[in-house]
Homo-oligomer: A and B are copies of this chain.
Amino acid sequence: MNLDRNYLQQHFDFYKNQLLTDTIPFWFPRSIDDEYGGYLLMRDADGSLIDDDKAVWIQGRATWLLATLYNTVEQKKEWLEGAKVGVDFLLNHCFDADGQMFFHVTREGKPIRKRRYFFSETFAVIALAAYAKASGDKEIAEKAGSIFGKCIAYASGEIKLQAKFEDTRPAKGIGVPMIMMNTAQQLRETIGYPRCDEWIETWIKEIETYFVKDDIRCVMEQVAPEGSIIDHIDGRTLNPGHAIEGAWFILHEAKYRNNDKHLISLGCKMLDYMWERGWDKEYGGILYFKDVYNKPVQEYWQDMKFWWPQNEAIIATLLAYTMTGDEKYKSWHSQIHDYAYKYFHDKENGEWFGYLHRDGTIAQTAKGNLFKGPFHLPRQEWYCMQLLKEINF
């Protein structure tokens, strides 16, 4: 395959440098809560704390990040110890008596809110699994496995979670097979888990069969149980950045299976469809929501630029380029990379702003809140750096 090795070398250097000298130092060590455990991550642009509450998703994600850096980049003691702080906080404060996890807790770990989803659980799984690999702690590994087992039961409907909607118009989302696929991939790459390949295959088939629509070149965010498009506002709403994240989970799986051709083709077409729909031709960047038939989207922030869809698109385009050699993907990677580091990166304080208006101006300055923390950006820089490290320049 004819790849532009200069381009890849240059981006390897860039991502490595950004991750280790800009992104990670923004968050650590200052975010470790020495008093109550866990991390203090809700920070303004300059790093000052705007809230000492703790978002459970992000406690898990930050734990995963530190343990993963330890496992894959360098065995730094501070990263292992930092991950342990998160593991303890998750296990001691983030589970309700019924076994479900909370979504939002106080600094001390008292519950504020529980939600009707199990994403806190999936992030706890990858956190515990990565830490178990780093530390060799068998008990933590078992705990990760048992929470994952519970996630499978939630995902399959074997354990029923409280419903948000009545039964009139059943729907299913791409989010569940996506997150489950990626969680299983993480488990497989850290501590192992029985039948991961089989589970992953099931979730990929679910996505391919029900959510990918070749006739209209689209990946749906939700569909009716048998896969038809629900022609109402919510059912029509697309999330291009999310679908593009799904695309790279599938390309990652293709690589794991020695460049499985069918999966490369599936991942690339998901990327193609949603780049076409999500890339803002006027201002650059990936838009948040689109309507499948271009009708008005109800979610107010639909045409804003959030940080994470850009991160997912940077990974997906780079993976697609390195796996296919297709110049189109190199060009897309170059466009999204240049756009994102120009508009989102905070040259003064490090890390990225999270929320831009459509035209690239900053809508608000927080680096961390209930929904943003050290995850999508450092994961992107880490993933791209690891991917490029494998390639012989």
A residues adjacent to B (C-beta < 8 A): 42, 44, 50-53, 102, 106, 110-114, 164-166, 168-169, 232-233, 295-298, 300-304, 306, 355, 357-358, 363-366, 369-371
Contact = CB atoms under 8 A, between A and B. Distances in A.
Contacts of A306: 300
B112 A169 contact: yes
A53 B232 contact: yes
Nearest to A105: B168
A169 B106 contact: yes
A349 to B, nearest CB: 14
30 contacts: A42-B233, A50-B296, A51-B232, A52-B232, A106-B169, A110-B166, A110-B168, A111-B166, A111-B168, A112-B165, A112-B166, A112-B169, A113-B164, A113-B165, A113-B166, A114-B166, A233-B370, A296-B365, A296-B369, A297-B364, A298-B366, A298-B370, A300-B304, A300-B363, A301-B301, A302-B363, A303-B363, A303-B364, A357-B357, A357-B358
A233 B110 CA distance: 17
| Copies of this protein chain in the complex | 2
Interface SS of A by simple majority: loop
Given A106-B169, A233-B42, A233-B50, A366 B114 contact: no
Nearest to A302: B364
Nearest to A370: B298
A230 B370 CA distance: 16
Contacts of A304: 300
B300 A300 contact: yes
